[in-house]
Amino acid sequence: MIFRVAGFALLGVDAFKVDLEVDIARKGIPAFTMVGLAEGAVRESKERVFAALKNARYDIPPARITVNLAPADRKKGGSAYDLPLAIGLLGAAGYLRQEAASPFLLAGELSLSGDVRPVSGILPMAVLARDSGFSGIIVPKDNAAEAAVVKGLAVYAVETLAEAVEVLSGGVAEPHHARSSFAPAVPEEQDAEYVSAFDFAEVKGQEHAKRAVVIAAAGGHNILFVGPPGSGKTMLAERIPGVLPPLSFEEALEVSKVYSVAGLLAPGKGLLGRRPFRAPHHTISRIGLVGGGSVPRPGELSLAHKGVLFLDELPEFGRQTLESLRQPLEKGRIVITRAGASLEFPADIMLVAAMNPCPCGYATDPGHVCTCTAHQIQQYRARLSGPLLDRIDLHVEVPAVPFQDFSADSLPDGAPGTSCAMRQAVANARRRQSARYKETGLSCNADLSGRRLETFCPLSGPARAFLSRAADRLALSARACSRIIRIARTIADLDEARDIDARHLAEAVNYRVFDRERN
């Protein structure tokens, strides 16, 4: 008799349905065959499932057992098929009725004793179940909160195989989320703990750098900090997520899906409510950064989706690794192509990078003697490719803070230079951009280029004259001029000005320190 159970597999951050068909034939030599492009981890399922069934005292008679995973043309990995496979075997052996199993999508890893363990990708699985008309899902207890994010779906959270059988035999009438305390499907409040732990109020002085942060956050621009060790570059970077606008529900869902697929949602966590901050070390591999692998997993770029990716010591990253950032920075997503199939991970990020001005770090620090030769400095900077630097609109010099600034009094609540004040300025400028770009598909000024830059950033006569003088004096390329106009647009938005004028351009020119010598 053939019994069918529905499971799921992942493609990027989306789930698709996998039908498990289990056939038990009493005739012939006992054997177990699994077909349908199952990878190693799925094949090992068999051992866990039979042990779990035995220890839960279900008797599966020796027989010719065939399991088919459909669609057959897509690879299936992971341990989430343990539970559906066990249920399929029980069904085929006559313990369960087909009508009872059909309305459910199931997932879970089994321990040898029959405990159900958490698996990755439950959030996209729940979305799939809702969209393809399943009335309920049976998932591991530890994944319950993420499953409960999806409305209109009965979530049964089980701790053991026996509990899953009980649900399917009608022994549990009510879905668990209706009677217990799963996390509600709203993003967590902007984590109060984070907000107080990472406030710009603690960064003394550095008004120039903070102003650049407000501009970057307001216009969605990438930013590079250049300064000596200890000048506070890391400190500045890790406070940036706190001045970005809070995640919308849709954004929170997208971000949480990435974490669900990566298996990084903590038990009991539903939607993530805070913008991510990821700071991979410079020794990270290309796959670690952009994602991939034989069963593709999201990389740091995708884990930073809708948040900040911080690359400290930028020139120390491998050249190949940095090159692989270019396309995602342009497109906001990563396409991974492998034998026949291609899949996508989201990667709409704000890139924040930091570096020393020279190999020893002290070239711009009046308090230290720089020991580097001009040649060494040039070589160090040449490690960064022009095209990558081109994607970073703001380059900011971060000087070492003089001692008297360190000992200055703390800023009062809400004063300029605190996260609270910066957040308000950013939110205000973002509102102006949303109104302006309503019908264009653009989200912020950083996305402006080519024709759209001309449409949305017309320059008045005096403004144009100013920029052309600056371009002559500083030998700016056309590309550099476009970047200056984009930043000036954001500065004008912060200024609540409709038009870009010479003042805005004059400030924007300041954020091109680093490549003046390059242009």
Ligand X SMILES: Nc1ncnc2c1ncn2[C@@H]1O[C@H](COP(=O)(O)OP(=O)(O)O)[C@@H](O)[C@H]1O
Stretch that binds Mg ion, among 227-235, 330-338, 457-465, 471-479 (CB under 5 A): 227-235
Closest distance to ligand X from the beta carbon of 239 (Å) = 10
State the nearest-atom distance from the C-beta of 227 to ligand X, in Å: 6
- For 469, the enclosing helix (H) or strand (E) is helix 461-474
Residue with tokens 């001045």: 243
Number of other residues whose CB lies within 10 A of the CB of residue 233: 26
Selected binder of ligand X within 229, 367, 386, 416 (CB under 6 A): 229
| Distance of closest approach, residue 365 Cβ to ligand X, in angstroms | 11
Distance CA 156, CA 166 (A): 11
Q: Closer to ligand X at the Cβ: 206 or 482? A: 206
Distance CA 198, CA 188 (A): 17
Q: Would you say 230 or 458 has its CB closer to ligand X?
A: 230
Q: Which residue is nearest to ligand X (CB)?
A: 232
- Which residues, numbered 294-353, are part of the site for ligand X (CB under 6 A)? none
Q: Is 490 in the site for ligand X (CB under 6 A)?
A: no
CB nearer to ligand X: pick between 230 and 367: 230
Torsion on CA atoms 52, 56, 58, 64, rounded to nearest 10: 10
**Under a CB-based contact definition with an 8 Å cutoff, are residues 114 and 160 in contact?**
yes
Shortest approach of ligand X to residue 314 CB, angstroms?
12
Q: What residues numbered 187-226 form the site for ligand X, per CB under 6 A?
A: 202-206
- With CB under 6 A as the contact rule, the residue among 230, 293, 402, 462 that binds ligand X is 230
Q: Which does 232 bind (CB under 5 to 8 A by kind): ligand X, Mg ion, none?
A: ligand X
Report the relative pairing of strands 291-292 and 277-278 from DSSP bridges. Answer: unpaired
Q: Using alpha carbons, select from 256, 226, 271 the residue that is nearest to residue 515.
A: 226
Residue closer to ligand X (CB basis): 20 or 236: 236
Site for ligand X in 232-251 (CB under 6 A): 232-235
- Please, which residue, 64 or 282, has the CB nearer to ligand X? 282
Residue whose tokens read 């703001």: 394
Question: What is the rounded distance in angstroms from the CA atom of residue 279 to the CA atom of residue 350?
Answer: 12
Nearer to ligand X, 200 or 466 (CB): 200
Residue 231 sits in the site that holds ligand X (CB under 6 A) = yes
Cα–Cα distance for residue pair 23/34, rounded to 1 Å: 11
Kindly state the smallest distance separating residue 130's Cβ from ligand X, in Å: 44
At residue 321's C-alpha, the angle toward residues 318 and 324, to 5°, is 150
Residue 279 interacts with Mg ion (CB under 5 A): yes or no: no
Which amino acid, 441?
A: G
**In terms of CB distance, is 265 or 354 closer to ligand X?**
354
Question: Residue 225 and residue 209: Cα distance in Å, rounded?
Answer: 8
Which listed option, ligand X, Mg ion, none, makes contact with residue 235 (CB within 5 to 8 Å by class)?
Answer: ligand X
As beta bridge partners, residue 33 has: 66
What residues from 230 to 269 belong to the interface with Mg ion (CB under 5 A)?
A: 234
350 binds, among ligand X, Mg ion, none (CB under 5 to 8 A by kind): none
Least distance in Å: CB of 212 to Mg ion?
Answer: 17
Residues 6 or more apart whose CB falls under 8 angstroms from that of 288 comprise: 280, 299, 300
Q: Are strands 223-226 and 341-346 parallel, antiparallel or unpaired?
A: unpaired
Q: Output phi, psi for 223, to 5 deg.
A: -140, 145
| Least separation in angstroms between CB 203 and ligand X | 5
Distance from C-alpha of 307 to C-alpha of 305, rounded to nearest angstrom: 5
In the complex with ligand X, which residue's Cβ is closer, 316 or 323? 316
Q: How far is the CB of 515 from Mg ion (least distance, A)?
A: 22
Using DSSP's 3-state secondary structure scheme, residue 175 falls into coil
Beta carbons of 118 and 137 less than 8 angstroms apart: no
Nearer to ligand X, 401 or 485 (CB): 401
Partner from ligand X, Mg ion, none binding residue 206, C-beta < 5-8 Å depending on class: ligand X
Considering only the stretches 119-127, 228-236, 250-258, 497-505, report the one whose residues sit in contact with ligand X under the rule CB under 6 A: 228-236
Tokens read off for 488: 């000036």
Residue 432's binding partner among ligand X, Mg ion, none (Cβ under 5 to 8 angstroms by kind) is: none
Interacting stretch for Mg ion, rule CB under 5 A, among 18-26, 117-125, 229-237, 458-466?
Answer: 229-237
401 is a site residue for ligand X (CB under 6 A):
yes
**Least distance (Å) between residue 353 CB and Mg ion:** 11
> Which residue of this chain has its Cβ atom nearest to Mg ion in the complex?
234
- Residues recorded for the chain: 519
Give the shortest CB-234-to-ligand X separation in angstroms: 3
Q: How far is the CB of 238 from ligand X (least distance, A)?
A: 8
* DSSP codes joined into one string, 401-465: PPHHHHTSPPPPTT-TTSHHHHHHHHHHHHHHHHHHTTTTS--SGGG--HHHHHHH--B-HHHHH
Residue 312 CB, shortest distance to Mg ion, in Å, is 5
Q: Which residues pair with 16 in a beta bridge?
A: 9
User: What gap in Å lies between CA 212 and CA 395, rounded to an integer?
Assistant: 9
If one asks whether residue 357 binds ligand X (CB under 6 A), the answer comes out as no
Binding site for ligand X (CB under 6 A): 202-206, 227, 229-235, 401
Residues that bind Mg ion (CB under 5 A): 234
